[in-house]
Amino acid sequence: FVYIYRLIPWHYLHYRNNKTEIHSYWQLDAEKRIILKNENEYTDLLREKLIEAVNMRCRSIERPGSELSGGLDSSTVTGIAARYCNENHTALHAYSNVFPQGTEMEIQDEREFIQKMEGFTPLTLHTIDHLSHTIPELLQFIIGFQGCYIQQNFSVLCDALYQAAGRDHVQVLLSGFGGDEMVSARTSVQWNEMIQNSEWSLIRD
């Protein structure tokens, strides 16, 4: 990622005649308030905006995809996208990180919820049960890319998931990963491999 830079949120880049311009397309109005009559109206508005946000990202897309952890957020996003795709005769490809079958682990994945989503809504499920590199290598990559190690424990598995979506030529990959981590996630940080490999400096950093 040398010489590749991330745009500031809510900005776009315009390049023409060897000149680069960066413009803001949206700005948060911190003073704006939405005043409705009751809780049901707030719920309806949230549902409307969420459905609109997911649907607009699926429009005119031949190969839409979604990250499905089995948690509340990713299941909601995947369910909305699957309904839209089904109504528009497009297949939604969902990608889920799971532990290999038969692996004795102290921690559980959310396969139970992933399978319920698969049975509930029309989608093509792809399960990812391997790492693309060792956990220390992936953590080094994440820290180098983001500047920190994020709380989302499955982040070390996402590289293999992205590779799978790339091989399937997915054009847009929706995500709800991490939003509900404090509510339903069953995983804990995978320190064991780092300890076994004596990656003390990485653990310290």
Examine the pLDDT at 78 and tell me if it is beyond 70. yes
Average pLDDT of every residue of the chain = 82
Q: How far apart are alpha carbons 169 and 156 in whole angstroms? A: 22
pTM: 0.71
Report pLDDT digits (tens) over 155-169. 566 788 889 999 999
Terminal CA-CA length for the chain: 21
Q: How far apart are alpha carbons 11 and 7 in whole angstroms? A: 7
Q: How far apart are alpha carbons 155 and 67 in whole angstroms? A: 12
Q: Which two tokens stand for residue 78?
A: 């995947």
Q: How far apart are alpha carbons 120 and 88 in whole angstroms? A: 18
Report pLDDT digits (tens) over 102-149. 665 555 678 888 988 888 888 999 998 887 788 778 777 777 766 655
Q: How far apart are alpha carbons 16 and 23 in whole angstroms? A: 14
Q: How far apart are alpha carbons 72 and 79 in whole angstroms? A: 10
Coil, helix or strand at residue 121: coil
